[in-house]
Amino acid sequence: MELKIENTKAQMRKGVLELCVLSIISEKEVYPSDIIKKLKEAKLIVVEGTLYPLLNRLKNADLLDYSWKESLSGPPRKYYHITPHGQGFLSELMTTWEELNTAVYRSTSKNQ
């Protein structure tokens, strides 16, 4: 099978995306639009549709949970918050990210 750069990029982004979503939710209770706004600013996602399946998966893995809240302007909204299990997951991911960061830096910088 041909190796496509887009696939590799998407794979890389995916792991990082989980980390970022968990991190955003761990700060305070948020609803998807808040998350989307942050991720779009960071250029991590292009379309919003990417987020919903991810949230669903994290929720099913018991890393997140949500509660319904009435909204003034539209339909009721799902507000997401992190679970204790998710908190542990996040800190582990954070460590891995830092390790990877160092590892990538060390193995790709030429002046070692």
The residues of the shown chain that bind other proteins, judged by CB under 8 A, are 7, 10-11, 13-14, 17, 32-33, 46-50, 52-57, 59-60, 73-78
Q: Could you tell me the smallest distance in angstroms from the CB atom of residue 14 to other proteins? A: 5
If the CB atoms of residues 6 and 111 are measured against other proteins, the closer one turns out to be: 6
Q: How many residues does the chain have?
A: 112
If the CB atoms of residues 76 and 84 are measured against other proteins, the closer one turns out to be: 76
Among 89, 34, 35, 31, CA closest to 58: 89
If the CB atoms of residues 60 and 112 are measured against other proteins, the closer one turns out to be: 60
Q: Could you tell me the smallest distance in angstroms from the CB atom of residue 8 to other proteins? A: 10
Q: Could you tell me the smallest distance in angstroms from the CB atom of residue 71 to other proteins? A: 8
Among 66, 101, 68, 99, CA closest to 82: 66
Among 19, 17, 15, 13, CA closest to 92: 19
The residue behind tokens 């302007």 is 73
